[in-house]
Amino acid sequence: MEKPFSFFFFTTFLCIIISVADSCTFTQGYSVIIGNDNIRDESVSVSCNSKDDHINGKALKFNETMAWSFCESPSTRFTCKFDYPRWQYQHFDVFNKNIKGECKEPNKERYRCTWSIRKDGFYFINRVNGRRDIKKYDWLTRPHSKRRGSP
């Protein structure tokens, strides 16, 4: 009689652990969304990672997005590299302890950190007090010798 009870207890305990792990019970849940909002002519290559995770790289066409969700810890930091075929690039944190306060939204369980890729640069979509698109970074231009496809 003892074995069925042990199995039941173990199964119940495992279900509780899985549900807690998926719901960010002890920390805040965040989502990072990156979208190509107005570069129509070519795709923008995006590759992101943290100390523990690598987000699969993607070539974002016009109006495409990539997104991922996570539970925050004090050291959570996601960095992305952006590559635009016209010799332009950029590299910056899309989430860190300084950015997370701007991701908050009223009455949301999971906060969103949304980035918009545009021809003139990178915009953070701040929703703390209504929507505001804030330009954070310009595109950088590669020196001629480091341009892709150059001799």
CA distance 113 to 99: 8
Give the 3-state secondary structure of residue 7.
Answer: helix
Per-residue model confidence (pLDDT) at position 27: 78
**Spatial contact of 77 and 150, defined as CB atoms under 8 Å apart:** no
Per-residue model confidence (pLDDT) at position 143: 82
Task: Give the pLDDT means over successive 10-residue stretches in the chain (151 positions).
Answer: 54 44 73 92 94 91 95 92 91 95 81 95 89 94 65 48
Per-residue model confidence (pLDDT) at position 24: 80
**Token pair of 81, please?**
């590299």
In this prediction the pTM is 0.78
Per-residue model confidence (pLDDT) at position 18: 42
